[in-house]
Structure 1
Amino acid sequence: MNIPSFLHPVTRSSASFTRRLIAVGLLFSGSVVGLAQSTHRWTEQQANEWYAKQPWLVGANYVPSNAINELEMFQQATFDPAINDRELSLAEGIGMNTMRVFLQDQLWTSDPEGFSKRLDAFLAIAAKHHIRPVLVLFDSCWEANPKLGPQHPPIPGVHNSGWVQSPGAAELMDKSYYPKLQAYVEGVVGRFGKDDRVLAWDIWNEPDNGNDARFHEAPHKADLVDALLPQVFAWARAAKPTQPLTSGVWNGNWSDELKMSATTKIQLAESDIISFHNYGWPEEFEAGIKELQKQHRPIICTEYMARGAGSTFDNSLPIAKKYNVGAINWGLVAGKTQTYLPWDSWDHPYVLSQPTVWFHEVFRKDGTPYRQHEVDLIRSLTGRGSGAD
């Protein structure tokens, strides 16, 4: 989830950058090496052969309209197969064949069997609609104190007002909790890592996103994440999935190794396939693709399309098709996440009036398109869905 400047992480000092590199180096000389002896990153050839077997991948980041976050999506009390079925049918109808879906570690830790059954049910619904999701294991965006149970209602007029991180700040700072994170990763990937209904694993969403002081982040969060991220890749690989692993780059320079952040270096070094986020104008979108082509691996944009920021289906999707890049926009159906509202709603809630242009989302809650032209374009470019050319 790319976010505006007031939520961007602060520029880190060179000393902090060096400490993070040292921490990562120590990890590679320790536990990660042991796991890497039996598992490995895909070669460029393996990655490209896998991608050659896929159709052009087009989809959305999916949260059902009745859920404010990933906890509400999958907890027993609020998991709603009927809504998932109805909304994924809308996606199928416009030619989408993948969804990016966020999981949360506490769902597994509290009830591994129940969560697995609900995830299995969701995958069955997605398969019914010829959709293979990318499953996201961890996420560094928004609220840093996730709690199971009933979630608070949406804050009126505010974009994504209930989204939660995984792991939370307390868990990230507590190394004694890490075995539970390992059990979660190895448990979920172990159970679904050879399941043809799953397209890929997104190991960590925007891992170095520092958000904003209002979210009460862990001190030295980026250092902690950079030390943990290679371990999470290793845990996932220990389960020997048949699907590729990735973590999307989203911030800073992606082409010059001397200018890359420590986090970006880890993401690019560990990912089987390359993924990225871009909410900019088409020139920025295309430039990002060209930077990442130097990796010689398949590329999927796992977040784009923020109309008010210059990122639109009309601008970005034809470019993605030109370069055979997968394209997963933010949002499918407007609902409790309220991500049709712009980022600046965190400082200026849209309570008395709605924005003229929706920020994210494709469909209204009743299933009608926000813009008919957009769904027609998606159908036309994918050659799939009802009414495709």
Structure 2
Amino acid sequence: MEKEDLIRKAGNFVFALFKEKLSKKLVYHNYKHTFEVVKEARQLAETLQLSDEELEILLLAAWFHDTGYITTYENHEDESIEIATNFLREEKFPEEKITQVNRCIMATKQGQLTHHLLEDILVDADIANIGKDTFFATAELLRVEWEIFLDRTFTDLEWSQYQLDFLLSVSFRTQPAQAKFSKQLSKNIQAQRTHQLDLAKKKKKKEKKNRETMAQPKRGIETMFKSTYDNHISLSAIADNKANMMISLNAIIMSIIITYLGTKSSIIGAEFTRNPVLMIPVGILLATTLASVISAIISAQPEVTSFRLRPDKLTSRRINLLFFGNFTKIPLEDFQAGMHDIMRDKNALYNNMITDIYYLGDVLKSKYRLLRISYTIFMIGIILTVLSFVIAIAQ
């Protein structure tokens, strides 16, 4: 009777402790789980016909085995032992029995070896859930706990595989537990296998669908690429026309200046000879037209963006295999192999087109920057020439 009173007192203590200090986020390792472990431990002990003294040690360990969760999640067994020891010492429980209780608690730690029947019973009671039809629902609660307290996240397929591996790796240690739970455990293993296969099939189906979706022509995507290429080509043509215009205009101006300055017998040549100050505006105009035409020529100069290619780098996202500046640097066989890879993978094709557009834009940026410099120099040169000419005439 005294033993039952101590067990009941321990149960009340754990209930109050969990109610006051246990996190509500512990949806698996809570009072309900502890109560179930105590219940299963008692039933297994009765089947094995343990003595009252052994039953007392077992049930006390069952009540306290998860109390360490009030302060820590990992290695909670050490905290559980400390809480159990303090409680039992206050109850004047013999030290040698406290040691036995603590050994049972430590036996519930994953991977721990057991050395006594009481330890085996408590471990079987603690994992009894794997032999029940509620296994899958309660396993999801454990998954939630791990995400919150251990920051361990799983996809559905990863969790299913983990659960299957766990079910296959554990076994009940006592004969009564094997008799009671083995049948349902086998069903759970089979159900987990089926579930895992279903998830794997769904994943493969989804991946196949994604591949097929990428492999199918998309009118919107193709239109976007076509419009972008057309815009880049149009902008490049405009830039080249503007550059040609600046080249022609500046070349004409330079030709006229050089021709007139070289003709000593002409009226203008004689005028420059008599009035050397006029050489200042002419020199400014000649210098600025020269700088302007050089910028325009560089802008119109063909620019080829290319990389040093190696066969093992043909799938790089930075390389556009469709551009002659790249593929002419590799052997024909490697080019053919790379093109076949692109044709098999729509994503690779799009990557090559995107890369091509990027570097076309980079070339356009350089062209328009040089054109802006050319026009700016020409404009400044005209202004300075007119101002210096006016000043020279005024003198």
Higher strand residue share: 1
Tell me the TM-score normalised to structure 2 length: 0.19
Q: TM-score, normalised by structure 1?
A: 0.20
Higher helix proportion: 2
Structure number with bigger Rg:
2
